[in-house]
C-alpha cells in the first residue's frame, strides 16, 4: 500500500500542476490581443486580388483591430475565396471571406459542413443570410452584383459580437474596391 501511494502521489502532483494553467470561461474563448502574428492586410489583399476573377475589397477597419491572417484558396464546387482575419481590441476574432463561389458551396467550404439557414440580418445597408447552429459560430453572407462585374459574395464569421460584425460589414462595403485582377478562364 505504501509503494502504491509513493507512485500515485507524484502523479497527482504533476496533474495538479498542469491543471493550474486551465481556466473556466463561461463567455467562450477569447484571443489575446497581443498574441499571434500580425499581417499587413491591405498589402496582402492587393497581392491576392491579382489572382482572382472578381474585385476584392479592402476593409477600412477601425483603429485597434489587428489583422492576423490572409490567404486565398479554391472553394469546393468551383470558385476562389480570399480571406482576411482580424482580432478586435476585446480579443475576439472575425474573418471576412470574399468569393465568386455559389453561396451554398462557400458556406460548406468555410464551415466544413452544410449549415441550415437561420434567417437574415441587415447590416451596412444590405441583407445578410445567416447560417449556423444553436450555440455555433454564425456565418453571415451577402451578394454584391454590380452591372458588368462578376458577382461577389461576402461572408463574415468568427467569435465577434453582433456590433463587431456590423462594424466589419460597414468597413468592407465602405472600403476600397480593387478592380478585377484577372479575367475568368
pLDDT tens series, the chain, 185 aa:
667 666 666 565 555 554 445 555 555 555 555 667 899 999 999 999 999 999 999 999 999 999 999 999 999 999 999 999 999 999 999 999 999 999 999 999 999 999 999 999 999 999 999 999 998 999 999 999 878 888 999 999 999 999 999 999 999 999 999 988 754 44
Look at strands 66-74 and 126-131 and give their pairing. Answer: unpaired
pTM for the whole structure: 0.80
Q: What is the rounded CA–CA span in Å between residue 50 and residue 52?
A: 6
Amino acid at each position: 500500500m505504501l509503494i502504491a501511494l509513493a507512485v500515485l502521489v507524484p502523479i497527482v502532483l504533476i496533474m495538479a500542476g498542469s491543471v493550474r494553467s486551465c481556466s473556466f470561461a463561461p463567455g467562450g474563448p477569447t484571443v489575446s490581443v497581443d498574441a499571434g502574428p500580425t499581417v499587413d492586410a491591405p498589402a496582402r489583399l492587393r497581392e491576392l486580388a491579382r489572382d482572382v476573377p472578381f474585385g476584392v475589397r479592402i476593409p477600412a477597419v477601425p483603429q485597434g483591430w489587428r489583422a492576423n491572417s490572409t490567404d486565398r484558396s479554391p472553394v469546393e464546387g468551383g470558385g476562389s475565396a480570399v480571406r482576411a482575419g482580424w482580432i478586435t481590441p476585446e480579443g475576439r476574432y472575425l474573418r471576412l471571406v470574399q468569393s465568386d463561389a455559389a453561396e451554398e458551396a462557400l458556406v460548406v467550404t468555410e464551415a466544413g459542413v452544410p449549415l441550415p439557414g437561420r434567417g437574415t440580418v441587415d447590416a451596412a445597408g444590405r441583407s445578410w443570410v445567416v447560417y449556423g447552429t444553436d450555440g455555433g459560430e454564425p456565418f453571415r453572407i451577402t451578394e454584391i452584383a454590380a452591372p458588368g462585374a462578376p458577382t461577389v459574395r461576402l461572408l463574415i464569421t468568427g467569435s465577434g459580437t453582433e456590433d463587431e460584425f456590423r462594424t466589419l460589414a460597414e468597413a468592407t462595403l465602405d472600403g476600397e474596391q480593387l478592380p478585377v485582377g484577372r479575367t475568368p478562364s
